[in-house]
Amino acid sequence: MINALPPATVLILGALPLLFLKGKAKGTWMLLLPILSFINLMALPEGSHWTFGFLNFEITLAKVDRLSLIFGYIFHIVAFIAALYALHVDDRIQNISGTIYAGAALGVTFAGDMFTLFVFWELLTISATFLVLSRRTKQAIGAGSRYFMVHVAGGLCLLAGIIIHVQTTGSAAFGYIGLESFASYLIFIGVGVNCAWPFMHSWLVDSYPEATITGTIYLSAFTTKTAVYFLTRAYPGTEALIWIGVGMAGFPIFYAVIENDLRRVLAYSLINQVGFMMVGIGIGTHLAINGAVAHAFNDILFKGLLFMTMGAVMYRTGKIRATDLGGLYKSMPWTCTFCIVGAASISAFPLFSGFVSKSMVMEAASHGDLRFVWFVLLFASAGVFHHAGIKIPFFAFFSHDSGIRCKEAPKHMLLAMGIAASLCIFIGCFPQFLYAHLPFATDYDPYSASHVISQTQLLFFSALAFTLLLLGGIYPAEMRSTNIDFDWTYRKGSRWLYKACGQLFDSINAFGDRVFMQELPKALARFVQDPAASIQKHGARLLSESTGDEGPLARRLAEAEYRTKNSAYPVGGGVFLAVIFLGVLSLFYMLF
Amino acid sequence: MKRPIDIDEELRMFDKPENIKRLLIIFFIASTVVILIDLVYHRHTVFAWEDYFGFYAVFGFVACVVLVIVSKYILRPLTMRKEEYYDD
């Protein structure tokens, strides 16, 4: 018997008191929740817990193993850091949705069956949407609605896959799936939406920069990383993931170079980093999986840190576009320092966290003799240094002096950034503490002389290129602009679809109106005004057409007109019709 | 009352041209040293091309130049719209 609760419950149920707590009590409770939740997780031994039957399937609320544990650890760490960073936020919608969002991520991570997983998966979408919406600007409400619709579509795809998968295999257990059946493809794509694969990525760069300052810290940590966790468990060694990862590592860096909104630059760089994880999962060797998981762990910290520094800049200056910023190192020296630590970590400088995890994926690619993949990843490594490592700190804190003088970030924000920055350096210097918790045992040593030298050369000369291009005036000047991406298809495309549908249905409507509401009743009205004459005239016309004799037509028409007007039908005609009618009637009577 | 900002008075370490010049010189020297390590130390490699003198340095430099050129001259003309593009 264990005395713990299922891992997700502490945060999700713990969000309820936030409805009525106020001021300091609320802040303390928000900080306490991740700690309580972590203690609860520590009380859980490895294995499956809370298993019970539901219909014909087995539900497992918590399955604890090395893979779920390491994601559990980092989710708790970042939940605490994000809560600390958001200590000043007095908005219940954000407080509650942030806490539930972190709880939902834990729910997915420890779900032992597909049904539990799906419930928490949807809870992730709902709570994340509120983090975007609660910025309450026109852009945020638009981006939040689009976020919701894209993720609901992805969730339905996942649900369809889960139902077919459970039906065919007869088991609801969540474990290795592999890309084989139709159902496995549906699940794969449904998860891919959350993972921001190419062409499904635009929700991320659309919504994260529009979310609230503190909401983005939560967002950057959970949605994509739970999807990474899902793929690590269900699709390790799936070759398609290598190519998806290559695409993700490659294309966003070009966008990041020309993007003006610095939080959007970070959103593109997030996709780029998840690309490294995809390649690692796709390669599927122990080293590669370890690399993917370690990189997810580090990315949550350094990407969160970078988003926090940009958030602090936004909080103090109200601006986030590179064109509006610059020279802030004088006003915000600590934030600037933390930003540089984050930048060094994401660029994989030796002694910073990115160095000890990215290299595992690179090494796995070179051991697998994946030459093209290796080249793209190396290109992406240079590129990420270029846009996230140099561009972010340079345009925000150095570059030209924007004239902005503001206060340093508030203390709780500095503390949150400080914790994240210290962890980045600590993991970079003592990677064995991270390696000890990876899914597979490893004796990997990132600090070989060759590796340190080659990485330093790569980074120094990337920086040299930046410097020379900037001095030479070739570096693209930041401009206030929107860069269209794949979301164009549904943001502009939907308007065209709306217009096209409008035109199609409007024309059908107009046609129906003309034929059925106007011309047909008119013709009918004309006919029933004088039906007998109309029939006779029509008959006369047909007769003249068939015989080709136009002569008697006018006479016959006049006759028909005369007869009906004066009711001048011969009596014999009426008797003749009556006799025919009686004859037909008796014929029916005799036959049936 | 906020004091008007006097840019000259506010100039600090990274704003003064002579400091920037000094920093650049240090950076260029460091870069040269980093690439020259290849002469004295043989890196352990997996692929044959990694053995070339200054492979990583040249790759990093060329990659970033290509990145910037492609972004500026190909991607930006294709994708850049005015800031209010989606608003109307």
CB contacts < 8 A, A to B, total: 158
Query: How confident is the model at residue B5, as a pLDDT?
Result: 53
* Segment A287-308, tens digit of pLDDT: 999 999 999 999 999 999 999 9
Confidence of residue A537 (pLDDT cuts 50, 70, 90): confident
Partner A contacted by B51 (CB < 8 A): no
d(CA A363, CA A287): 8
Give the list of residues 6+ apart from residue B23 with CB closer than 8 angstroms, or none: B14
Beta bridge partners of A47: A64
Chain B CB contacts of A138 under 8 Å are 87
Query: How confident is the model at residue B3, as a pLDDT?
Result: 53
Q: Which of A142, A253, A330 sits opposite B12 (nearest CB)?
A: A330
Partner A contacted by B46 (CB < 8 A): yes
d(CA B77, CA A483): 10
d(CA A241, CA A258): 27
- What the block records as the tokens of A321 is 């576009």
Could you report how far apart the first and last alpha carbons of chain B are, in Å? 40
* Nearest Cα residue to A272 out of A381, A158, A371: A381
**Mean pLDDT across A334-345:** 96
Is the CB of residue A225 less than 8 Å from the CB of residue A275?
no
More confident residue, A118 or A532: A118
- What the block records as the tokens of A179 is 């890309």
Partner B contacted by A386 (CB < 8 A): yes
Give the list of residues 6+ apart from residue A286 with CB closer than 8 angstroms, or none: A440, A442
Give the list of residues 6+ apart from residue A585 with CB closer than 8 angstroms, or none: none
Query: How confident is the model at residue A318, as a pLDDT?
Result: 92
- What the block records as the tokens of A442 is 């490893």
Domain limits at B49?
A: 8-79
| Percent of chain A that is helix, strand, coil (3-state, to 5) | 75, 5, 25
Partner A contacted by B29 (CB < 8 A): no
Partner A contacted by B27 (CB < 8 A): yes
* B residues 57-76 lying closer than 8 A (beta carbon) to A: 57-65, 67-72, 75-76
Q: Chain B residue with minimal CA distance to A492?
A: B86
Highest mean pLDDT among A301-310, A471-480, A548-557, B63-72: A301-310
Q: Chain A residue with minimal CA distance to B50?
A: A454
Question: For chain A, what is the mean pLDDT?
Answer: 92
Is the CB of residue A81 less than 8 Å from the CB of residue A306?
no
Partner B contacted by A137 (CB < 8 A): no
Q: Chain B residue with minimal CA distance to A371?
A: B47
Query: How confident is the model at residue B11, as a pLDDT?
Result: 60
Question: How big is the CA angle at A386 (ends A381 and A392), to the nearest 5 degrees?
Answer: 125
Query: How confident is the model at residue B50, as a pLDDT?
Result: 84
Report the gap between the CA of B24 and the closest CA in chain A (Å). 9
Q: How many H helices and E strands in chain B?
A: 4, 1
Where chain B has pLDDT below 50, the residues are 1, 8
Q: Is the pLDDT of residue A446 over 50?
A: yes
Query: How confident is the model at residue A483, as a pLDDT?
Result: 87
Q: Would you call A461 and B44 a contact, using CB atoms and an 8 Å cutoff?
A: no
Report the gap between the CA of B30 and the closest CA in chain A (Å). 8
Q: Would you call A483 and B45 a contact, using CB atoms and an 8 Å cutoff?
A: no
Confidence of residue A403 (pLDDT cuts 50, 70, 90): confident
DSSP 8-state class, residue B45:
-
Q: How far from chain centre, in Å, is Cα A318?
A: 26
Chain B CB contacts of A482 under 8 Å are 80-86
- ipTM for the complex shown: 0.87
Q: A177: how many CB neighbours lie within 10 A of its CB?
A: 23
CA dist A216 to A243, A264, A308, A558, Å?
A: 28, 11, 8, 87
- Residue A588, amino acid: F
Partner B contacted by A399 (CB < 8 A): no
Exposed/middle/buried for A204, CB within 10 Å: 0-12, 13-18, 19+? buried
Calculate what percentage of chain A has a pLDDT beyond 90: 73
Partner A contacted by B26 (CB < 8 A): no
Q: Which of B5, B47, B71 sits opposite A366 (nearest CB)?
A: B47
Report the gap between the CA of B50 and the closest CA in chain A (Å). 9
* Segment A57-111, tens digit of pLDDT: 888 999 999 999 999 999 999 999 999 999 999 999 999 999 999 999 999 999 9
* A residues 424-483 lying closer than 8 A (beta carbon) to B: 448-450, 453-467, 469, 474-476, 479-483
- What the block records as the tokens of A570 is 């011969």
More confident residue, A478 or A326: A326
Q: Would you call A258 and B76 a contact, using CB atoms and an 8 Å cutoff?
A: yes
* Least confident segment among A64-78, A215-229, A433-447, A487-501: A487-501
Which helix (H) or strand (E) segment holds residue A194: the answer is helix A182-195
Query: How confident is the model at residue B4, as a pLDDT?
Result: 53
Q: A456: how many CB neighbours lie within 10 A of its CB?
A: 20
Q: Is the pLDDT of residue A575 over 90?
A: no
Q: Would you call B71 and A463 a contact, using CB atoms and an 8 Å cutoff?
A: no
Q: Can you tell me which residue has the tokens 């970079």?
A: A428
Domain count, chain B: 1
Q: Would you call A462 and B56 a contact, using CB atoms and an 8 Å cutoff?
A: no
Q: Is position B20 within any domain?
A: yes
Partner B contacted by A374 (CB < 8 A): yes
**Mean pLDDT across A529-556:** 81
Q: Is position B85 within any domain?
A: no
d(CA A143, CA A145): 5
3-class DSSP assignment, residue A332: coil
d(CA A139, CA A469): 34
Q: Would you call B71 and A481 a contact, using CB atoms and an 8 Å cutoff?
A: no
Q: Is position B84 within any domain?
A: no
Q: Which of A457, A466, A474 sits opposite B57 (nearest CB)?
A: A457
3-class DSSP assignment, residue A483: strand
Q: Is the pLDDT of residue A565 over 80?
A: no
Report the gap between the CA of B76 and the closest CA in chain A (Å). 7
CA dist A183 to A119, A121, A122, A163, A186, Å?
A: 18, 18, 19, 8, 5
Q: Is the pLDDT of residue A198 over 70?
A: yes
Sign of CA dihedral A182, A183, A186, A188: negative
Q: Is position B75 within any domain?
A: yes
DSSP 8-state class, residue A489:
H
Q: Is position B86 within any domain?
A: no
* Nearest Cα residue to A450 out of B5, B62, B51: B51
Q: Is the pLDDT of residue A11 over 90?
A: yes
Q: Would you call A382 and B63 a contact, using CB atoms and an 8 Å cutoff?
A: yes
Q: How far from chain centre, in Å, is Cα A149?
A: 9
Q: Is position B3 within any domain?
A: no
Report the gap between the CA of A233 and the closest CA in chain B (Å). 29
Give the list of residues 6+ apart from residue A536 with CB closer than 8 angstroms, or none: A556, A560, A563, A564
Chain A CB contacts of B37 under 8 Å are 453, 457
- What the block records as the tokens of A520 is 């047909």
Query: How confident is the model at residue A1, as a pLDDT?
Result: 43
Query: How confident is the model at residue B30, as a pLDDT?
Result: 93
CA dist A138 to A133, A141, A211, A358, B87, Å?
A: 9, 5, 11, 38, 9
Q: Chain B residue with minimal CA distance to A456?
A: B34
Which one of A461, A467, A484 would you mutate to disrupt binding with B, by most B Cβ within 10 Å of its Cβ?
Answer: A461
Q: Chain B residue with minimal CA distance to A252?
A: B71
Query: How confident is the model at residue A52, as a pLDDT?
Result: 86
**Mean pLDDT across A204-222:** 94
Q: Chain A residue with minimal CA distance to B43?
A: A450
Calculate what percentage of chain A has a pLDDT beyond 70: 99
